[in-house]
Amino acid sequence: KQEVTQIPAALSVPEGENLVLNCSFTDSAIYNLQWFRQDPGKGLTSLLLIQSSQREQTSGRLNASLDKSSGRSTLYIAASQPGDSATYLCAVRGIAGSARQLTFGSGTQLTVLP
């Protein structure tokens, strides 16, 4: 059974810092990996999607990497801003099953201090 772990559970940084969020998964047979952002009381916003054949994806100040063989992904946020404060969730999609379900980590709660 796939298990997804995110470390740290919470992170507080001053504005302007570059930071890395970590995600690890136990079963390397994945279809893709998706990073989401969740603001308090809101739904999930998809940030980046990395296919299993890819090593990284970039969107603006965000860069996500994937090392499938070691079961790891990182989300790099450059020049952090207070507006980046949110919970960041990592989810992997397995190969088995027609619906290709997502397995989520518990998230990293990020606070960027002005």
Partner 1 sequence: SQTIHQWPATLVQPVGSPLSLECTVEGTSNPNLYWYRQAAGRGLQLLFYSVGIGQISSEVPQNLSASRPQDRQFILSSKKLLLSDSGFYLCASAAGGGVEQFFGPGTRLTVL
Q: Which residues bind partner 1 (CB under 8 A)?
A: 31-32, 34, 36, 41-46, 49, 89, 91, 93, 98-102, 104-107
Cα-Cα-Cα-Cα dihedral sign, residues 65, 106, 77, 58 = positive
Q: Residue 5 class from Cβ within 10 Å (0-12 exposed, 13-18 middle, 19+ buried)?
A: middle
- Closest CB to partner 1 among residues 91, 112: 91
Q: How far is the CB of 71 from partner 1 (least distance, A)?
A: 17
- Closest CB to partner 1 among residues 80, 87: 87
Q: What are phi and psi of 13, to 5 degrees?
A: -135, 155
- Closest CB to partner 1 among residues 46, 111: 46
Q: How far is the CB of 54 from partner 1 (least distance, A)?
A: 12
Determine the 3-state secondary structure of 83 from DSSP.
Answer: helix
Q: How far is the CB of 114 from partner 1 (least distance, A)?
A: 26
- Read off the amino acid at residue 101: Q
